[in-house]
Structure 1
Amino acid sequence: MTALSFQEKCVSVINGAPRWAVFFLFDLLDDLLCIVFRFLDEVMEGKLESCHCKIPQETTDFAGYEFLSDHKHLSETLYRRRNIFRQAGFLRFAKKLPEITKKIGIVTFLRKFLLPGKMKKVLREVANRWSDCGCKTCVSWTNTDQLNVIVKQPSISHDLLMSNKPVENVIFIHGFLSSSSFWTNTMFKYLPETTAKTNYRFFAVDLLGFGDSPKPRDSQYSLKEHVEMIEKSVILPNNLTSFHVVAHSMGCIVAVALAAKFSNSVKSIALVAPPYFADSKGGASCTALDVIAEKKLWPLTSFFTAMMAWYEHIGRGICLVVCRHHRTWERIIKVVTWRRKLPTAIMELTKHTHQSAWHSMHNVICGGAKLTDNHLETLVHSGVKINVMQGDRDAIVPIGCLWNMKARFPAIEVEVIPGTDHNTVIMSRKEVFVAKLVTLWASDEKKKD
């Protein structure tokens, strides 16, 4: 037994060695990039952009996660991501970098001789950071302070006006690195605008920081901000006194928080592949990061998720290469694939900033984990019908999240869809999914009657 145990440990060490080596190098690279980006931020914008490589000064005497007690809408994972070099004080040089560069005048030199035409622009506030794309499409949101919302409703006709059928409102919320087109380009054509008893009005939103919605550089993209923007952009302008919610992936966390805030108005919630982590010991945020972004090399999607979620500056570097130059990449892909128009899924991968993606990942997916239980308790207590479904081959959100939610809240209806993954649970069965939604909405009507 002992020999077998020793052998298993040896195999585990051998298999884990490459993974440890890769992420050890990432720890070093991320800290080096912290210094690089601090220097470039001062050169390009005349100020240092804040990062999360160290805990703020006012939190030096914390115990556990109490240093965030006054910032309950932020996630502990922003400051508590393990990094060997950071813990060893490797960034002490970075703290002195601004003083050093000012003394030797290198920043002024670079601004004057390398960016003469941008001197004034560098020193004033702009909508996007220098490492984000500033094309017309990417900054079009500066003309509004509300989310981009796509509305589908019945065409106004005399017969429709005379029908006196009640109108059911439905809000659709997309997931991480997605947009409203996840619904509008796929599901909307299957949704009935009107049935024998009901007229429907559908709202698909681009969440704050994604799609064509605003991407403010100073936002923390907290769960609270996402909910308030939906309230400001959809609920209040359209005077929604009752509505249903449909959400996918990260959008499920936003949907549950939104529904809990309007528990007297929401009629039903349909959640698809929701990340759920019970907060029994107060560590749901860190658990969420460890599970959703586990440090592993395979499959590649998991490796990429871990790299982007654990390493702030590596992630910013990738966004600098990919998102800032998305038009170049789109042209290259069109030439290689011989396509005039690229699939929406490819286009929306770059319709965000590093700030919006990074903070939404931590403050919504991870930080929202510690709030979801309270939100669900509010909804269950209010008698809101909650239906959850997930594919049994989902490699992004573990199927265990579904069963943990069901164990914690038995009143929630759950369904596992065989042979589907995180996206095909909807995309491979659009008509069936829509039929399920219509049945859910209709059952709520009968319940109210």
Structure 2
Amino acid sequence: MIERSVIKRHGVKSFHIVAHSLGSILALALAVKYPAAVRSLTLVAPPYFPVPRGEVGTQYVLRTVAPRRVWPPIAFGASVACWYEHLSRTVSIVLCKHHRLWELAFRVFTLYRVRTYLMDGFFCHTHIASWHTLHNIICGSAGKIDKCLEIVRDQLTCDVTIYHGRDDELLPVQCSYAVKAKIPRARVKVVDGKDHVTIVVRRQKELAMELEEIWNRKR
């Protein structure tokens, strides 16, 4: 969709890529497909787990990203979405079918002072997309991330920057260091006191300034 609705539609010849969490996998695939066009690549909390020799990539990554546990809540949600397909699809149908009701409730609850982009973005998905976003990206890409990282390392010359919250309970900081091990020129910035969501949501201005610095270096 990014390729069809943005790159090809508008004839984009060069661009910067910024991606968070599972979006990092899509970002790597996009960078590999357009190596000459990428000016910089910024990954925030990338879900990269090197697969040990002899392990099946999909199963290993699923067990690592979404172990069957109930705490913290973000890990519980990942576990249900990945391992209990029918239950997670049912929840997605209920949430997404009635997204206008949930959006109104959140706006009223926050007294219209806080625009809940995070919730709006989720509820506006179709129920299929909201489930596949987590499940199929992991399943479909677990065995391909290593190859993408190697291509970025060997064939791309763009800057690679990685941000990760030190308190991330879903994806540990080791994920970002594992990416750096694959791409030695990558710069890793670990932010204290931030988790998987607040690495972006509660530091928008700081992140925007940091991105501007990255982009200005590659004008």
Task: Check whether TM > 0.5.
Answer: yes
Rounded Cα–Cα distance in structure 2 between residues aligned with 1:389 and 1:308 = 25
Structure (1 or 2) with the greater helix fraction: 2
Match of 2:194 among 404, 416, 420: 420
Q: CA deviation at 1:233?
A: 1.0
Report 1:380-391 matches (<5 A). Answer: 380-382=153-155, 383-391=157-165
Q: How many residues align?
A: 216
CA contact (8 A) 1:293 1:305 kept: yes
Change in Cα spacing, 1:440 to 1:312, as seen in structure 2 (3 Å) is same
- TM (norm. structure 1) is 0.45
Rounded Cα–Cα distance in structure 2 between residues aligned with 1:273 and 1:333 = 27
Rounded Cα–Cα distance in structure 2 between residues aligned with 1:340 and 1:426 = 21
Higher relative contact order (CA 8 A, sep 6+): 2
| 1:229-268 Cα distance to aligned partner (Å, 9 max, x none) | 2111111122112111111111111011001100111111
CA contact (8 A) 1:278 1:369 kept: no
Rounded Cα–Cα distance in structure 1 between residues aligned with 2:210 and 2:103 = 36
Runs of 4+ in 1 over 6 A off after TM superposition: none
Q: CA deviation at 1:359?
A: 2.4
Rounded Cα–Cα distance in structure 1 between residues aligned with 2:110 and 2:188 = 43
Aligned to 1:41: none
- TM (norm. structure 2) is 0.88
Aligned to 2:213: 439
Change in Cα spacing, 1:300 to 1:362, as seen in structure 2 (3 Å) is closer
Change in Cα spacing, 1:409 to 1:231, as seen in structure 2 (3 Å) is same
Report 1:124-135 matches (<5 A). Answer: none
One-letter amino acid of the structure 2 residue matched with residue 294 of structure 1: P
Mark the structure with the bigger radius of gyration: 1
Contiguous gaps of at least 5 residues in structure 2: none
Rounded Cα–Cα distance in structure 2 between residues aligned with 1:246 and 1:338 = 29
Contiguous gaps of at least 5 residues in structure 1: 1-228
Rounded Cα–Cα distance in structure 2 between residues aligned with 1:329 and 1:230 = 27
Match of 1:276 among 33, 37, 48: 48
Rounded Cα–Cα distance in structure 2 between residues aligned with 1:403 and 1:306 = 24
Calculate percent identity across the aligned residue pairs.
36
| 1:298-327 Cα distance to aligned partner (Å, 9 max, x none) | 222222221122111111221233222233
Match of 1:261 among 33, 36, 40: 33
Aligned to 2:70: 297
Q: CA deviation at 1:297?
A: 1.8
